[in-house]
Amino acid sequence: MIDNGLPEGWELVVGLEVHVELATKTKLFSGSPNRFGDEPNTNIDPVTLGLPGALPVLNQHAVELAMRIGLALNCTVKPSTFHRKNYFYPDLSKAYQITQYDEPLNVDGFLMLPGGVRIGVERAHMEEDTGKSTHFGGAGGRIHGSDYSLIDFNRAGVPLVEIVSHPDVRTAEQARQYVNELRAILVAVGASDAKMEEGSMRCDANVSVRKYGAELGTRCEIKNVNSVRSLGKAIEYEARRQIDVLETGGTIRQETRHWDETDGRTHTLRAKVDANDYRYFLEPDLVMLAPDAEWVERVRAALPVLPAARRTNLAILTGAEEDSEAIAVVVERGQDTYIEEVKNSGGDAGRALVWVQQSFAEEGNTPRLPAKDLAALTVLERDGKLTATQAKTVLGDMLEAGGGDPAAIAASKGFEALDTSVIEGFVDEGIAAQPDAWAKYCAGEEKAMGALVGTIMKLSKGKADGKVVTAILQQRRNG
C-alpha cells in the first residue's frame, strides 16, 4: 500500500484542475495584446470590454497551442463547441464567460509521473480569462464590504486552457509531481510560461478521502493554491481535516474551500447549495471548432521531444539514474541538448551533467560557454589531469569569461597535471605515515581509507586526483 502519510487505512483521492494562460500574442477573441504587467486597461478593445455589438473571433494560434497541450497529454482532438457561462461580476465584461462545456477540444489523455504512475486527463478545454478586480477598504479583500473596487481588463479575454485530471492522484507528492511534470510539458511545447507565481498557471485540487475499498468520498475543491509547495500542504491539511470530521462521526459537505497560506488551513468559501446556476448554452456568436485531421497531424508532428523522453535520453547519455535530481533539474532547465553537444564534442557526458547541474543554474537552455570548452574540461578531468576541485576552479573562470581553453587556464594557475608515478610516490609516503590506518584498511575496514586519502592529498598539496589515489590504494590492497 502506498504511503500517503495519512492514518492507517485511509486512502487519499485527488483530482486536479489546472488553468494555464496560453503564450499567444493576442487575446482569445480579439486583437488586443496578451501581455502581463502592462499599465491597467491598456490592452483593451470593444470585444474585451463587452461593448454592445462587439463579436468574438477565435484566435487560431490559441487553438494550435491548445492542441499542442492536448496532444502532448495523449488526448484525442475532437470537434468542439463553445458555450456561454452566465454570471454577474464586475470583472466579467459580458456577464458571461465563453468556455468549452460539453464538447471540449481535447479529451481522454493521460500524463505519466516520473515514477511511472499514470494520471488520467479527462479533458483540456479552451476558455477566456476574466479581468482582475482589486478591492479597497473593508475586510478580507472581498468586494462585499469594500469601499471601492478597481478593475483591470488587460487580463480579460486572455486565452486559457483548463486541464482536468481524473481523480487518480493518491498522495500529496504525486500531486506535486503532476503539476511539476505538467508545467515542464507546457513549457516544452511552448504553450505557456506556466508561472504559478505570476498566475499564468493556477491549480485547484478536488480532495476526498475514503477507507481503502470504499466508495469515493464527498470531495471539497481547494482554491487559492499559489505554489507547488502549497499544493502539497493544502492537500495534506485538507485530507487530515476530512479524516478528523469522519472519525468523529461527522460528514463532509461538498464545498469550495480557500487555502490560507498564513495559517496553513483551508476555509469554507461557499457550499455547493449556494453555487451559481450558470445557465450554459451554446455561444451563438461562434461556430463549431473542428480542426481537420491534416491540421491535427501537422501539430502533432511538430511537437518537440517531451520532458519524460528527454530524461530517459539524458540518463542513457550520461549513465545517471533516470529519476535522479541531476537529470530532472537539467531537463527542466532545457540544458540536456547542451550536454549532448558536449558529448558530441568528445567530452564526458557524465562529468558534464555534474557541472551543468551545479554551475549552470543561471544559464538557461543556451549556455554561453561553448560546449567544446566544457568538453575539453571533462576530458582533462577524466584523464586525471585535473582534480574535481581544480576543474571547478577552472570552470568558474571559463564561465566568467564565457569560454576559454581549460588546459591553458589550468597551467596558468599552476594546476600541474600529476603523473600517476608521482601520485604513487605520495601514496608510498602516506602509507608510511599512517601504518595503523593501512593495516585496518587491509583488514577490510573501508572507513580507514578516508584517513589515508586525506594524508596523501595533503602531501600532494591537493594536486593529486582523489579518484586516482583511491584506485591505487584499492589496487595495492587487492594486488
Q: Does 27 bind other proteins (CB under 8 A)?
A: no
Instruction: Find the length of the chain.
Output: 479
Place of cell 495584446: 33
Amino acid sitting at position 451: A
Select the span of 114-122, 273-281, 379-387, 434-442 touching other proteins (CB under 8 A): 273-281
Binding mask 144-163 for other proteins (x = CB under 8 A): x------x------------
d(CA 368, CA 331): 17
Q: Which is nearer to other proteins, 57 or 309 (CB)?
A: 57
Choice from 5, 7, 46, 462 touching other proteins (CB under 8 A) = 46
Q: Does 88 bind other proteins (CB under 8 A)?
A: yes
- The secondary structure element, H or E, covering residue 303 is none
Q: Does 270 bind other proteins (CB under 8 A)?
A: no
Select the span of 80-88, 117-125, 204-212, 233-241 touching other proteins (CB under 8 A): 80-88
Amino acid sitting at position 334: G
Q: Does 246 bind other proteins (CB under 8 A)?
A: no
Q: What's the Cα-to-Cα distance from 244 to each of 211, 217, 249, rounded to whole Å?
A: 13, 14, 9
In the complex, least distance from residue 338 CB atom to other proteins, rounded to whole angstroms: 44
Q: Does 286 bind other proteins (CB under 8 A)?
A: yes
Which residue(s) pair with 221 in the sheet? 206, 256
Nearest to 469 by CA among 431, 423, 435: 423
Select the span of 87-95, 173-181, 185-193, 468-476 touching other proteins (CB under 8 A): 87-95
In the complex, least distance from residue 148 CB atom to other proteins, rounded to whole angstroms: 11
Q: Which is nearer to other proteins, 46 or 346 (CB)?
A: 46
Choice from 143, 329, 451, 471 touching other proteins (CB under 8 A) = 143
Q: Does 461 bind other proteins (CB under 8 A)?
A: no
Tell me how far apart the terminal alpha carbons of the chain are, to the nearest angstrom. Answer: 48
d(CA 141, CA 454): 61
Q: Does 54 bind other proteins (CB under 8 A)?
A: yes
Residue 130 contacts residue 156 (beta carbons within 8 Å):
yes
Residue 299 contacts residue 60 (beta carbons within 8 Å):
no
Select the span of 91-99, 194-202, 365-373, 442-450 touching other proteins (CB under 8 A): 91-99
Q: Does 213 bind other proteins (CB under 8 A)?
A: no
In the complex, least distance from residue 126 CB atom to other proteins, rounded to whole angstroms: 14
Nearest to 422 by CA among 458, 469, 467: 469
In the complex, least distance from residue 404 CB atom to other proteins, rounded to whole angstroms: 55
Nearest to 222 by CA among 240, 200, 248: 240
d(CA 190, CA 303): 9
Place of cell 502506498: 2
Q: Which is nearer to other proteins, 56 or 406 (CB)?
A: 56
DSSP 413-446: TT-PPPPHHHHHHHHHHHHHH-HHHHHHHHTT-T
Q: Is 126 helix (H, G, I), strand (E, B) or coil?
A: strand
Q: Does 56 bind other proteins (CB under 8 A)?
A: yes
Select the span of 83-91, 203-211, 425-433, 434-442 touching other proteins (CB under 8 A): 83-91
Choice from 115, 284, 414, 435 touching other proteins (CB under 8 A) = 284
Q: Does 139 bind other proteins (CB under 8 A)?
A: no
d(CA 257, CA 245): 15
Q: Is 464 helix (H, G, I), strand (E, B) or coil?
A: coil
Q: Does 96 bind other proteins (CB under 8 A)?
A: yes
Place of cell 496578451: 34
CA atoms within 13 A on the CB side of 252: 24
Q: Which is nearer to other proteins, 270 or 368 (CB)?
A: 270
In the complex, least distance from residue 261 CB atom to other proteins, rounded to whole angstroms: 26
In the complex, least distance from residue 229 CB atom to other proteins, rounded to whole angstroms: 34
Would you tell me which residues interact with other proteins (CB under 8 A)?
A: 46, 49-58, 84, 86, 88, 90, 93-96, 143-144, 151, 277, 279-281, 284-287
